[in-house]
Structure 1
């Protein structure tokens, strides 16, 4: 019929409007900004979870030491190797880590970490390098040895010094003293060679740091983190390496005009360049871990884990990938945060067990 309105079905549909290129780019940019804002929060949440897991492992190690002491009436030994050669403070003594069974304090505490089966695989009549090749307990990596932030799983230490054996790496070490490892009988930490009774910790178990963290490298000849091995240099033992820059190594404090009392560097402004604070790196600190082999100095520097090669003494800084510091455990079993910017003198007080100095002094 003339003048009749066309039916709906006959009406031509208007085509849908598409995004322009500019609009599409704007949407992509907004999504990119949102992702950029979200990623740090996600990464922070993941690191927080990893740090909590790491703290839990640290707590387990601390409680294992406490239970070991309850059963044995003595703290575990950092090493069984003692060689009298020279010393400090009137004590003739030098630590020699490359003799004896060389079993770490962690090996001794395995039964108290609910790892009795792994403990039974170690033959204490042999050395850590001559264990049964079939069981190879030194190459085990139980989760309690690992801080998730460091990705140490699958990393091993093997060099000309290990008898061809790969030793698994972990992330927990003991503090043997505030000065050199070869002075740990004079200036003692909580876990020292031969072990010691709890009553020797006269500064208080809640005041004394016992265990902390180290990082590992994905490099076979780097000893840091070799948990079964009773060596310094971050294998299972570290020291603060705090000593006076005005007293030559090998010379006693008294012969250098210093009073003959424990680590005088606490009153020496020059000591800041002669210590290993947490995660140390830079020109203002003595920042190289002392290892038996440091074959990749450039790579170590890039990873902020600088190192040098030494012949017979080793030290290392506590290190982690947690922002701002490392976890630590005290002798009473409590776990605490140890900040990168901790005062060196304060840290020395917390490491030494019997200097009469506490964190409030």
Structure 2
């Protein structure tokens, strides 16, 4: 009888067992791999912020001041509608005093080439007048940071790697150049969009200096330069800037600003009424608490000259309006944002991130710290410190927003003596 050779191989049961074991191992390892990748992205984000902190200190060493936020050039103070085609002498262009704190820092974080474009904006003949013809069709409108006409001013469209957190997946239109790092304007909304001096028409009896001292309490004050000498609470106790997400177009409560019911602590708004820090909270979707509910008011008012789709968080790194490049310490990190009517002026703008549990902040001494969402934020519905007829918390008052609010102020005599 011929000898039959036995075939070697795996049975079906053995194969299924091996596949099951591999599946279990993948299931166990995948979260660890994802966590390691996010840890690396978070470290890279922190390093970017440290670079900005070094740039900030180098700028201060060079000029003995910090870069001004929401400042620049204009032919009239707080000139209102963009008018880049006219200057006092009839020519040239300007940026309406609305550049953010970031353009001036570009040569200090290895973006000298970009700074050369910004500081020499297509003036080929050196006469001080921008050559609009060299910028393409409708270029006269392009110097205004938010107009929709024609080709845009290229430096403002540039995505700068140092200004982006790797954990933020946002890219492309309708954003211009995105930023994940925003200047800290303090713990109040009052005058945050243009500074008290530029907002003097809304301040009774011309007391804009008192109004500024009362409400503009952050490391940065819109429309003027500040310096380390003004940070009396100590550089290590004061936030200079915070991390923000950029909008992904998904109705995220941290990125898409709804229109507040009326004026959200604004110039003519009563902060003891319904227009307080919680003005937009009723618009959150109860079934999806990280997103706004359907039907919430998101249409920009006629006062906003650009398309509403561009009016979202972090969309314009060079633009000094608070929605794009500023934050305050009223609501704790990763809370909802809420703007005054047209998304363009005052607002509740906490920092935010895609990191688990909190955000990075840059302290004025250059240190980068991770602040958790559970930080003591006091009474989030309290009116802010301000100077006018509604001053429930008058100038010099401690921040009503706990440790978080105190960290946002530069000279309120609130020194933090504990780890945060």
TM-score by length of 1: 0.69
Q: What's 1:223 paired with?
A: 312
Structure 1, 101-110 or 24-33: larger mean CA deviation: 24-33
Deviation (angstroms), 1:144: 0.4
Q: What's 1:202 paired with?
A: 232
Q: 2 CA distance for matches of 1:106 and 1:132?
A: 25
Cα separation, partners in 2 of 1:59 and 1:15, compared to 1, 3 Å? same
Q: What's 1:340 paired with?
A: 373
> Quick check: 1:53 aligned with 2:143?
no
More strand per residue: 1
Superposed CA offset, 1:232-272 (max 9, x none): 12x111112x3xxxxxxxxxxxxxxxxxxxxxxxxxxxxxx
For structure 2, list consecutive stretches of 5 or more residues without a partner in the other structure.
Answer: 73-77, 83-94, 122-129, 131-142, 196-211, 250-308, 378-401
Q: 2 CA distance for matches of 1:77 and 1:132?
A: 29
Partner of 1:321: helix, strand, or coil?
Answer: coil
Q: What's 1:169 paired with?
A: 178
Contact 2:67-2:225 within 8 A present in 1 as well: yes
Contact 1:101-1:127 within 8 A present in 2 as well: no
Q: 1 CA distance for matches of 2:16 and 2:338?
A: 50
Deviation (angstroms), 1:182: 1.6
Structure 1, 70-79 or 132-141: larger mean CA deviation: 132-141
Deviation (angstroms), 1:53: 0.6
Partner of 1:66: helix, strand, or coil?
Answer: helix
Contact 2:239-2:407 within 8 A present in 1 as well: yes
> Quick check: 1:278 aligned with 2:333?
yes
Q: What's 1:179 paired with?
A: 188
Cα separation, partners in 2 of 1:97 and 1:58, compared to 1, 3 Å? farther
Contact 1:79-1:97 within 8 A present in 2 as well: no
Contact 2:159-2:178 within 8 A present in 1 as well: yes
TM-score by length of 2: 0.59
Contact 2:339-2:345 within 8 A present in 1 as well: no
> Quick check: 1:190 aligned with 2:181?
no
Q: 1 CA distance for matches of 2:59 and 2:404?
A: 25
Contact 2:311-2:343 within 8 A present in 1 as well: no
Q: What's 1:13 paired with?
A: 5
Contact 2:360-2:369 within 8 A present in 1 as well: yes
Deviation (angstroms), 1:330: 0.7
Deviation (angstroms), 1:75: 1.1
Structure 1, 138-147 or 311-320: larger mean CA deviation: 311-320
Q: 2 CA distance for matches of 1:278 and 1:97?
A: 33
Cα separation, partners in 2 of 1:115 and 1:350, compared to 1, 3 Å? same
Deviation (angstroms), 1:291: 7.3
Contact 1:139-1:156 within 8 A present in 2 as well: no
Q: 2 CA distance for matches of 1:132 and 1:113?
A: 30
Matched ranges for 1:254-273 at <5 A: none
Contact 1:156-1:169 within 8 A present in 2 as well: no
Tell me how many residue pairs correspond in the alignment: 274
Contact 1:175-1:191 within 8 A present in 2 as well: yes
Match of 1:322 among 344, 355, 359: 355
* RMSD, aligned CA: 2.9
Superposed CA offset, 1:195-247 (max 9, x none): 112211000011111111111123443421121110112x111112x3xxxxx
Cα separation, partners in 2 of 1:177 and 1:30, compared to 1, 3 Å? same
Cα separation, partners in 2 of 1:154 and 1:51, compared to 1, 3 Å? same
Partner of 1:108: helix, strand, or coil?
Answer: helix
For structure 1, list consecutive stretches of 5 or more residues without a partner in the other structure.
Answer: 1-5, 82-93, 158-166, 243-275, 281-286, 293-308
> Quick check: 1:360 aligned with 2:400?
no
Deviation (angstroms), 1:79: 1.1
Match of 1:110 among 106, 131, 136: 106
Q: 2 CA distance for matches of 1:353 and 1:118?
A: 31
Partner of 1:212: helix, strand, or coil?
Answer: strand
Structure 1, 223-232 or 42-51: larger mean CA deviation: 223-232
Q: 2 CA distance for matches of 1:127 and 1:238?
A: 22
Q: 2 CA distance for matches of 1:277 and 1:195?
A: 26
